[in-house]
A and B are shown apart, each in its own frame.
Chain A
Amino acid sequence: MVILGALLLVGVAVVLILHPILSGREAPLESAGEEPSEAQFRKRISLLQLRDAEYEHAMGKLGEEDFQALRKEISAEALAAIRAEEAEARGAVPALGHADGGGRGEDAALEEEIGRVRARLKGGVFCSECGHPNGPGSRFCSECGSPLQSPRPSTTS
């Protein structure tokens, strides 16, 4: 009984292992084009950093000056990553499944979120020092007295 079981185990194992070599069946050596490239990865990281910075500013964790300086740096990195990604797309053969209409990726959702946070911060609605919401047109926060950022000419869509 044991010998029979053992022979069965050996037989099945050997067949399964040798079958690919004998029949020529192959495991894929390349992924199906869904892997984000390094540039795409860097872009996503930059967007996440931007989102976190916007929230930390909205939370009152990051002051106005610190936030602006950080935002400038991260945005520059994100733009560089986007340019690298575009260069990749121009130079590379389009991979399978890389359709433009493939649905909204996370990146678009992130950008939307960043836009939403920005919009709320604009017009002095939301105090970046203590987080208290103020009426539009306010110049000082009614909760903590800090000056609110004055509305800038809109440069974002």
Chain B
Amino acid sequence: MTALGEFALWIALPISFWGMAMGFVGGHQKRGDLVLSAERSVYIVFALLTVASLGIVNAFLTDQFQYWYVAGYSNRDLDIFFKLSGLWAGQRGSLVFWAVLLAFFAALTVFQNRKRNRDFMPYVVGVLQGILGFFLVVLLFAGVNPFEQLGFVPADGQGLNPQLQNYWMTIHPPVLYLGFTAFSIPFAFAMAALLNGRLDSRWIVVTRRWTLVSWFFLTNGIIFGMRWAYEELGWGGYWFWDPVENASLLPWLTATAFLHSIMIQENRGMLKVWNMSLVLLTFLLTIFATFLTRSGLIESVHSFAQNTGIAFIFLAFMGSIFVAAVILILYRLPALRSENQIESFVSREAAFLLNNLVLLGAAFAILWGTIFPLVSEAFTGQPIAVGPPFFNRVNIPIGLVLLALTGIGPVIAWRRATGRNLKRNFALPVGIGVAVSGAIFLLGARNGYALATFGISAFVLTTIAVEFWKGTRARARIEGEGFFAAFAHLVGRNRRRWGGYIVHAGVVLVFAAFAGRAFEVEVRKALNPGETVSVASPFGHTYTLTYEGMSSSLEANFDRWVALLSVQRNGASVGSMVTERRFYRVNRQMVTEVGIRSTPVEDLYVILADVEDFEGIVANDPAAQRIVVQVMVNPLVGWIWYGGVIITIGSLIALWPTAEVARRRGVVAGKADAGSLAGAAPA
């Protein structure tokens, strides 16, 4: 099975190039037979990549350590859950996984468009097969073949990095990759539109859903990564502006910008060149993310430099795409002229444009901060650090502007907002925002950014609540419906809009959680059994933890030493927590597992910082139980996860197909009745 998997990769390569050639030639020459051949090649490449992926999974499940990749990321006693996910544990398998996900989306696109968008499909297939061909070339010729064999069969593998043996780290890559690969579809349609000259809004309408699907997975993938970091890295934080983190954030920022700017193109026929450029940029950033995280570049500039094959292929690919796309955009510039102009800087169009500029600004700052140290070290050999202080200084103010815009954009009028309109719609939310800020200030908070965040969050939530309230009430009266029926129909009739509002509410929660970090409390103490440590929560109560003692045990894959602490809140018992050290025998690595006790408003977070006498504990020596613990209270951190759930719900509402869409598939729009528009014609 595994050997067949390798063979499948080799067959897939010429077929993907065939599909690319047939797609472009068939589209240009209007040859339906070539196009059919190209579309079938997409299904075939998907099937072959599935065989290759199953081959790798099979190798993990059957402990075939003669394969370099399996030996490097697995061992006999590894939990089967982690063996199954070995496909994306490391660079080589990840590239196959990426390719098979892309092939799946490509096959789905071809299937969905058997009868629709036919003038786009030949070029869409050509582009998608080109991308797949690139990944196959990398896999087979850049020294990263997952089927490479060692030449002997080791008795056991080296095991999986213990920090990756965590549920969140298992689902984080697949979800993120679904986001990255899904964006290839809008990119392919954009390129097809440039090639076939159909530069009206159709390519936007066709790819809107795919863009939202991609964004949905990117958002969840990033949040899962944050959860992993919070649970597993054990520092109490969830984001470190690490190059790998930044790599996934960059396309998220530009995809968010794109999601908003396409509304401007749809409604007002503006920003056509901008949208083309954003699609190109986002796609290149998804490829860049793979490049950055899976090419070895981050581990060390010097080890990376030894594998220049992969670097050359990635850079050549990104460079060619960039050049080809720019040439096409310039060629089609006349057809991409805006139909309207921004009439006022105080309008929804201007708010959306500002949203885009701010998101792009953040993306460029983060990109610069990420690659500058690498470039500098490559040339000078001197490592320099661009760390959280830089990124926070730049991104916190940007984040505040963005947060404010989520409240302004949906409410401000299209085209031009008058003073009347502004007063009518913003007086209450602004008032509430200022009041909330003031109240928190009076409660003792002094951090400026946190106060601003909470105030703006209250402002945004008020605008959202008012929209829902007023919209439901209007609908109820107009349609004569009850409140709940009106609410359901309101959302159902315009899912993108109301789903979007719910997403914004989730985003507000996440931002508020970020602001909570300004109020973190931390205590570090050495404890003998029976001794206590107290930490005061910013919400006014006090936690007291009593160290009960250590226990030890031998598990299948690791040895563990567990510290048990009982917890009291203002003197009343609320249960117990554990924090532990683990020694993974095969990997010979010691890791710390933290203890987390979550409430809706805060997390109590305990780290076993130091154990003095491991052997004494194993020997049950009562004198050997002294430890050092670090206890933190992390206010509002749970709001990140709750916010993520709300974002998910909102996205699903926005994505859910309506009955109209299904109807439209089979029915042409009826002739217009100009009656409803009479009385409004210009005099």
Known contacts A9-B7, A40-B669, A44-B669; is-contact A58 B677 (Cβ 8 Å): no
In the complex with contacts A6-B4, A30-B119, A73-B415, A58-B478 CB distance below 8 A: yes
Q: Which residues of A contact B37 (CB under 8 A)?
A: 17-21
Given known A-B contacts A35-B202, A45-B267, A155 and B678 have beta carbons under 8 A apart = yes
Interface centre among A27, A29, A30, A99 (most CB of B within 10 A): A27
A30 to B667 alpha-carbon distance, docked (Å): 17
Q: Any chain A CB within 8 A of the CB of B116?
A: yes
B424 touches A97 (CB 8 A): no
- By beta carbon, the residue of chain A nearest B37 is A20
Chain B residue with minimal CB distance to A61?
A: B425
Among A25, A38, A76, contact of B36 (Cβ-Cβ < 8 Å): A25
Q: Which of A26, A59, A78 contacts B33 (CB 8 A)?
A: A26
Q: Which residue of A has the minimal Cβ distance to B493?
A: A113
Inside 8 A of B471's CB, which chain A residues have their CB? Answer: 55, 59
A92 within 8 A of B: no
For the complex, is A139 an interface residue (Cβ under 8 Å from B)?
Answer: no
Q: Which A residues between 54 and 112 are near B, CB-CB below 8 angstroms?
A: 55, 58-63, 65-66, 70-73, 75-76, 78-79, 82, 85, 97-100, 102-109, 111-112
A131→B200 contact, CB < 8 A: no
Inter-chain contact total with CB atoms closer than 8 Å: 209
Q: How far is the CA of A2 from the CA of B467 in the complex (A)?
A: 63
Contacts of B669 in A (CB 8 A): 36, 40, 43-44, 105-107
The one of B34, B478, B670 that contacts A107, using a Cβ cutoff of 8 Å: B670
Give every chain B residue within 8 A of A115 (Cβ-Cβ): 675-676
- Mask for B74-103, Cβ within 8 A of A = 1, else 0? 000000000000000000000000000000
A2 contact from B3, B41, B119, B424, Cβ within 8 A: B3
Main secondary structure of the interface of A (DSSP, over half): helix
Q: From known contacts A45-B267, A104-B670, infer whether A17 and B116 are also in contact, taking CB-CB under 8 Å.
A: no
- Cβ-based interface call for A149 (8 A): no
Please give, as numbers and ranges, the residues of chain B lying within 8 Å of A120 by CB-CB distance. 477-478
B424 touching A45 by the CB < 8 A rule?
no
- B interface residues, tally (CB under 8 Å): 75
* A66-B418 contact in complex given A17-B15, A26-B32, C-beta closer than 8 Å: yes
Distance between A64 CB and nearest chain B CB, rounded to angstroms: 10
Query: By the criterion CB–CB under 8 Å, are B11 and A9 in contact?
Result: yes
Residues of B close to A99: CB separation below 8 A = 668
Find chain B residues with CB under 8 A from A72 CB: 680, 682
Q: How far is the CA of A60 from the CA of B115 in the complex (A)?
A: 44
Contacts of A29 in B (CB 8 A): 30, 32, 35, 118-119, 122
The answer to whether B473 has its CB under 8 Å from any CB of chain A is: yes
Interface hub of A9, A19, A49, A98 (most chain B Cβ within 10 A): A9
B201 CB within 8 Å of chain A: yes
Question: B560: shortest Cβ distance to chain A, in Å?
Answer: 42
Partner of A103, one of B33, B667, B682: B667
Chain B residue contacts of A13, Cβ below 8 A = 11, 15, 44, 48
- Which residues of chain B are within 8 angstroms of A63 by Cβ–Cβ distance? 418, 420-421, 424
* Contact across chains for A105 and B35 when beta carbons are under 8 A apart: no
Enumerate the 9 nearest inter-chain pairs by beta-carbon distance, A residue then B residue, closest first: A26-B32, A75-B680, A155-B679, A105-B669, A27-B36, A20-B36, A59-B470, A105-B670, A58-B474
Chosen A-B contacts, 21 in total, with CB atoms closer than 8 Å, are A9-B8, A10-B11, A21-B33, A26-B36, A38-B202, A45-B266, A45-B267, A55-B474, A58-B474, A61-B470, A62-B421, A72-B680, A79-B674, A99-B668, A102-B668, A102-B670, A105-B670, A106-B664, A107-B670, A155-B679, A156-B678
